[in-house]
């Protein structure tokens, strides 16, 4: 059941990242031999998805320390700045910082543990999330949250995979997810490979598909969850949550413990990444807007906790999240430890 797609591969003395910019047409790995290579791959979206970024960054520190033990603080800074919204990146860097002594071998073992644990957490979340779904469920998902975005199996897509394996899943609607098309290029590719019934829809079609009563649950991942349950995820997630509430469709967020950031009291405290205007004004190098046009390109948005039916993490699930229930969830021991 667990997907064999491997976006991040440690190869003895370097890191291999499946270049997600080339999918689905080409499956080609980038070779990263320095921490700068890894930071550039994260910035450039060769590797993306909050958990996969965190895993890649952990291996990036290993590459830095293997060259020069004293480069650690600078390497950490370069990686921390690569993408601002996904807090899993900072979580992984902080976990690596806690490793004493910081020998290349102990750092490598910690990076490998972060990688392996992510897969286990995803499997656990998938069981918990799928248990909330009825038989014959029709799901809409956004962006890519699958094996490509994680250490394997996926967050939201992990729940979808497990629901399919349990014979519960009738249909998945995958949004295109403009402007990077993670839904069309990556989610649809992952689901099609596993023969999970999927139909691609334009982002703008989602509310209408809900109005047509074709969707029971929207299931998405998260790049950061504030202490009160407000959730940052790929731009367009908030619009899906608003439409879901309007049409009485349930809304699930699936994310591991490392996605919660108690330093952010509410969603407004979460830094939102803005990317280049060219990502909107061009498509694969071809202009699709007048030359020189200004564009505003926030790539994440915040869904208020009040619009979320359930948050699922490896410690369990919580319905209608609030600051009190988020704190209680995070106090629970992980069923994996
Ligand atoms: O810009 P991306 O492709 O890194 O955005 C990814 C998402 O928004 C995912 O939904 C998110 O990372 C959470 S699930 C792995």
* Tens-digit pLDDT profile for residues 57-103: 999 999 999 999 899 999 999 999 999 999 999 999 999 999 867 78
Domain 8-121 has CATH 3.40.47.10: no
- Closest ligand 1 atom to the C-alpha of 149? 15
Q: How many residues does the chain have?
A: 337
Query: How many other CB atoms are found less than 10 A from the CB of residue 90?
Result: 19
**pLDDT over 60 at 2, yes or no:** no
SS3 176: coil
**Distance between CA atoms of residues 43 and 144, nearest Å:** 17
Active site residues: 223
User: Does ligand 1 come within 6 angstroms of the Cβ of 233?
Assistant: yes
Question: Where do you find CATH 3.40.50.10470 in the chain?
Answer: 124-331
**pLDDT over 90 at 191, yes or no:** yes
- How much of the chain is helix, strand and coil, in % rounded to 5? 45, 20, 40
User: Does ligand 1 come within 6 angstroms of the Cβ of 151?
Assistant: no
Q: What are φ and ψ of residue 154, in 5° steps?
A: 105, 170
Question: Where do you find CATH 1.20.120.420 in the chain?
Answer: 8-121
Q: Could you read off the pLDDT of 228-257 as tens digits, one per residue?
A: 999 999 999 999 999 999 999 999 999 999
CA of 149 from ligand 1 middle (Å) equals 7
User: Does ligand 1 come within 6 angstroms of the Cβ of 49?
Assistant: yes
- Closest ligand 1 atom to the C-alpha of 83? 4
- In terms of CATH, what superfamily is 124-331? Translation initiation factor eif-2b; domain 2 (3.40.50.10470)
Structure tokens belonging to residue 10: 């440690």
Mean pLDDT, range 168-193, rounded to an integer:
97
User: CA 66, 21, 235, 57: dihedral to nearest 10 degrees?
Assistant: -10
User: Does ligand 1 come within 6 angstroms of the Cβ of 129?
Assistant: no
CA of 234 from ligand 1 middle (Å) equals 6
């Amino acid at each position: 059941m667990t997907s064999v797609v491997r976006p991040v591969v440690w190869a003895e003395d370097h890191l291999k990242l499946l270049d997600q910019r080339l999918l689905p047409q080409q499956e080609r790995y980038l070779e990263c031999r320095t921490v700068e290579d890894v930071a550039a791959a994260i910035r450039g979206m060769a590797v993306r998805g909050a958990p996969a970024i965190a895993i890649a960054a952990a291996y990036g520190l290993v590459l830095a320390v293997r060259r020069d033990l004293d480069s650690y603080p600078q390497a950490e800074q370069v990686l921390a700045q690569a993408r601002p919204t996904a807090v899993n990146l900072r979580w992984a860097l902080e976990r690596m910082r806690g490793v004493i002594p910081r020998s290349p071998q102990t750092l490598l073992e910690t990076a490998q543990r972060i990688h392996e644990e992510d897969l286990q957490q995803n499997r656990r979340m998938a069981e918990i999330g799928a248990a909330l779904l009825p038989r014959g469920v029709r799901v809409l998902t956004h962006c890519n949250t699958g094996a490509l975005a994680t250490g394997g199996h996926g967050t939201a897509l992990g729940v979808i995979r497990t629901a399919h394996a349990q014979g519960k899943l009738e249909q998945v609607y995958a949004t295109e997810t403009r402007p990077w098309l993670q839904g069309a290029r990556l989610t649809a590719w992952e689901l099609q490979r596993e023969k999970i019934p999927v139909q691609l829809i334009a982002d703008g079609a989602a509310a209408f598909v809900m109005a047509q009563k074709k969707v029971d649950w929207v299931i998405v991942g998260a790049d950061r969850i504030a202490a009160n349950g407000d959730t940052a995820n790929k731009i367009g997630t908030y619009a899906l949550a608003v439409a879901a509430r309007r049409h009485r469709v349930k809304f699930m967020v699936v994310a591991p413990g490392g996605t919660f950031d108690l330093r952010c009291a509410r969603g407004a405290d979460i830094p939102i990444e803005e990317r280049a205007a060219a990502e909107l004004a061009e498509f694969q190098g071809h202009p699709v807007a007048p030359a020189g046009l200004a564009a505003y390109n926030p790539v994440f948005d915040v869904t208020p906790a009040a619009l979320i039916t359930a948050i699922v993490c490896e410690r369990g699930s919580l319905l209608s999240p609030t600051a009190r229930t988020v704190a209680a969830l995070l106090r629970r021991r992980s069923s994996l430890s």
